[in-house]
Amino acid sequence: MDGASNVPASHDTGLVLHVLGARPNFVKAAPVVRALADAGVRQGIIHTGQHYDTLMSDVFFADLGLPEPVANLGVGSGSHARQTAALLTGLEEVVEKLRPRLVVVYGDVNSTLAAILVCAKLHIPTAHVEAGLRSFDRTMPEEVNRVVVDALSDLLFATSPDALSHLAAEGADPAKVYLVGNPMIDSLFAALPRLDPAPIQARLGTPAKYAVATLHRPGNVDDPETARELVDAVLEVSRLIPLVVPLHPRGRGRLAAAGLVPSADLDIVDPLGYVDFLSLVRGAALVVTDSGGVQEETTMLDVPCLTVRPNTERPVTITHGTNRLVTPATLPAAAAKALSGSDLGSPSGELPPLWDGKSGPRIARVIVNWLSNNES
Ligand code: UD1
Ligand code: UDP
């Protein structure tokens, strides 16, 4: 890989477009956008509008220092078909108009899938950041998105070695694949000096010792019966330790109907901004989650994490020793063990390679090289 300095800033290699739509996209993109800016690459962000609440979107642009999008497609919410159809129509128009040299997509959300489909049909080259993660569970919408996105992308940026073997098993051309580490961890490292639990604890009135929970996966929150089992388990955890739940809008009503209501030991709050959330996580004795990104962030922050899912596409977080998969039935006992220090307390595994805060520059170097070798 040649350095970014190979391409002088004044040399216009064409427009690089980043398509972002949902909360985790913003966190993964920020280091790549920053590194490409440092390399003098002309770039722009298209916000699809998949996430639109201030606390699901704007606050991330501010916390992460992301530049204003050149367009917001305002697609909003809907069934998978409706949302994806709106994404396809909106993205086709904007990509045809801007004719970028390369479109960069992130993670596994519907905006990622739609951008890749549109570009494949318009013959616009694409790069996928976070390629090759697999839960092998196609009941997850994200898994379907991952498989399609990786099959159609021209550059595949993998965050962990297991992703390389998944891509190889699916026949990806090795020349397209780069192990670059995890840009989500770049964002975490960049925010570290600002991650102080005290201000957000003071604002929320959170006691000194507490746990944090986030829950939003369809498999957990969409079905009333499953939601009830999960809520019962979460309430049991709150009897062990005061629990703060920054609640994603998905499933808010369902979880409330299932009994997730505030009490002396259970604080249910709006989704938190990136710095506030990670500050709270940094000071927590335990995290309960079904998020993908939070499993990785707790790995780096050495915070015990219980993931309420039957599988994870991020097994390095388990082999590292900070994360464990649980069911609603096993969650309370697992929480008690973690809180007593007899589990998840002393991670013994290696940290994943290249989770060193330099993934953005690595990705930018590959892109700059690709741009100079593929002049239009
Ligand atoms: C999406 C991603 C998921 C990711 C999550 C990150 C897909 C298929 N899923 O799930 O992989 O983990 O984002 O947070 O792309 N809503 C609001 N305000 C918003 C956004 C959503 O109220 O700003 C509500 C709406 O009721 C909406 C629901 O949340 O119907 C779901 O939103 P959607 O973007 O479809 O999926 P997520 O569950 O957020
Ligand atoms: N996050 C946040 N505020 C919250 C919950 C999560 O800033 O209230 C951040 C979290 O630190 C991580 C990202 O959002 O960087 C993960 O997003 P989410 O859990 O919604 O999506 P997933 O990773 O499951 O796709």
Please tell me the distance from the alpha carbon of residue 25 to that of residue 184, in angstroms, as a whole number: 9
Q: Which atom of ligand 1 is nearest to the CA of 57?
A: 23
Is the shortest distance between the CB of 26 and ligand 2 below 6 Å? no
Domains and CATH numbers, the chain: 4-181+355-373 (3.40.50.2000), 192-339 (3.40.50.2000)
pLDDT per residue over 253-279, tens digit each?
999 999 999 999 999 999 999 999 999
**What is the rounded average pLDDT for all residues in the chain?**
95
pLDDT per residue over 226-242, tens digit each?
999 999 999 999 999 99
Q: Name the H helices within the chain.
A: 23-38, 58-64, 80-98, 110-122, 141-152, 161-169, 183-191, 197-204, 218-221, 224-240, 252-257, 274-282, 292-301, 316-320, 331-340, 359-373
Please tell me the distance from the alpha carbon of residue 199 to that of residue 201, in angstroms, as a whole number: 5
pLDDT at 82: 98
Q: How far is CA 79 from the centre of its chain?
A: 21
pLDDT at 4: 31
List all residues whose CB is within 6 A of at least one atom of ligand 1.
22-24, 50-53, 56, 77, 83, 108-110, 141-142, 216, 248-250
Q: Which atom of ligand 2 is nearest to the CA of 184?
A: 15
Token pair in block for residue 223: 């079905």
Residue 29 CA to ligand 1 center (angstroms) comes to 18
Please tell me the distance from the alpha carbon of residue 102 to that of residue 155, in angstroms, as a whole number: 10
Is the shortest distance between the CB of 246 and ligand 2 below 6 Å? yes
Q: Which atom of ligand 1 is nearest to the CA of 113?
A: 15
pTM assigned to the model: 0.96
Q: Which residues of the chain have pLDDT under 70?
A: 1-13, 376
Token pair in block for residue 298: 């707790």
Is the shortest distance between the CB of 183 and ligand 2 below 6 Å? no
Pick the residue whose CA is nearest to atom 9 on ligand 2: 274
Q: How far is CA 298 from the centre of its chain?
A: 13
Q: Which residues contact 281 (CB under 8 A, 6 or more apart)?
A: 212, 287, 294, 297, 298, 301, 303
Residue 25 CA to ligand 2 center (angstroms) comes to 9
Pick the residue whose CA is nearest to atom 20 on ligand 1: 51
Asked if 166 is an active-site residue, the reply is no
pLDDT at 1: 29
- The percent helix, strand, coil of the chain (3-state, each to 5) is 50, 15, 35
pLDDT at 46: 98
Specify whether the CB–CB gap between 107 and 78 falls below 8 A.
Answer: no
* Ligand 2 site-directed mutation target among 53, 110, 212, 291, most atoms within 8 Å of CB: 291
Please tell me the distance from the alpha carbon of residue 185 to that of residue 320, in angstroms, as a whole number: 15
**Considering every ligand atom, which ligand is closest to the CA of 112?**
1
**Considering every ligand atom, which ligand is closest to the CA of 278?**
2
Helix axes 274-282, 183-191, angle to 10 degrees: 80
pLDDT at 196: 98
